[in-house]
Amino acid sequence: MRVALRLAYEGSSFSGFARQPKQRTVEGVLLQHLRKADLLENPREVRYEAAARTDRGVGALEQVVAFDSPRLPTPAELNSLLPPDLSVLSAAAVPPTFSPRRGALFRHYRYVLPLPEPFDLREARRGAKLLETAHTFTPFSKQEPGRYRSCKLFLVGIRAEGGVLKADFVATNFLYQQVRRMVGALLSVGRGETGVEELWELTRAGGKRGWEPAQPEGLFLARVGYRGLRLPPDPQAVDRFSEHLAKIPTLRSAEMRRTLVDEFESLNKGRTGDFRIWQGISPR
């Protein structure tokens, strides 16, 4: 059977998601324990696939992986094997052809950081609207062979809440380091270091000018959306991961914990809509 898992990880103790020799990565730890539990039907050809590849230090609340397995494990079974900074929030049987990467309708990332002073939020929002309609993302990505070279942005939003700056990005897919570089651009506009006119030119014509990526500590993958598939979190798994996040005194951990608890409470109240996506956005 084909199994899909929804993973959550805080990120700071991992050297990224993808497997790397002699490095502790999310994928490496997960596959190691799946093999120990005899959950991979054929360890050499498991048809294993992930929805996204997050960089070193980046967290996630809904990373989705799929693989062929002789049975469907429970989140409790898997979490009893996994370290506390990696949790399986849900597990589901999916069609044999399910691909978490190709089947994703959208990916939603959120970035949080202390609100800079001074910071012109209105100008940053003007910059965010320009990014939504950009003709090119060359200045906001690091091109590498084998990576996506285009994407369709649905939403770029930025707001301030209680001294915290939050930026959300929703797209079909993202280029390498694109989200962190767009955060860098919006911070530059908000601080008055870059004018909206210059940003407009770069989003239309491209050019050599680009931004250094913002630090990974503020970024997490909030959601991956699919047609006809939802992976609601298991109550015990929510408690397990929330307890781990509560022990980490960072803005991102607090935001991830709040977002996860809000989702769980929303589902308990019978709300089936995606409260994490801005109203009016309906990814297709």
Q: Which residues participate in catalysis according to the annotation?
A: 55
DSSP-derived letter for residue 15 is S
Q: Are 5 and 22 in contact (CB under 8 A)?
A: no
What is the Cα–Cα distance from 76 to 81, expressed in whole angstroms?
A: 9
What's the 3-state SS for 90-115? EEEEECCCCCCCCCCCEEEEEEEEEC
What is the Cα–Cα distance from 221 to 90, expressed in whole angstroms?
A: 16
Q: Pick from 233, 230, 241, 128: which is nearest to 179 by CA?
A: 128
Q: Are 82 and 152 in contact (CB under 8 A)?
A: no
Measured between alpha carbons, how far is residue 7 from residues 26, 63, 179, 262, 271 in Å?
9, 5, 20, 17, 22
Phi then psi dihedrals of residue 178, to 5 deg: -65, -45
Contacts of 198 (CB under 8 A, 6+ apart): 209
Instruction: Read off the amino acid at residue 108.
Output: H
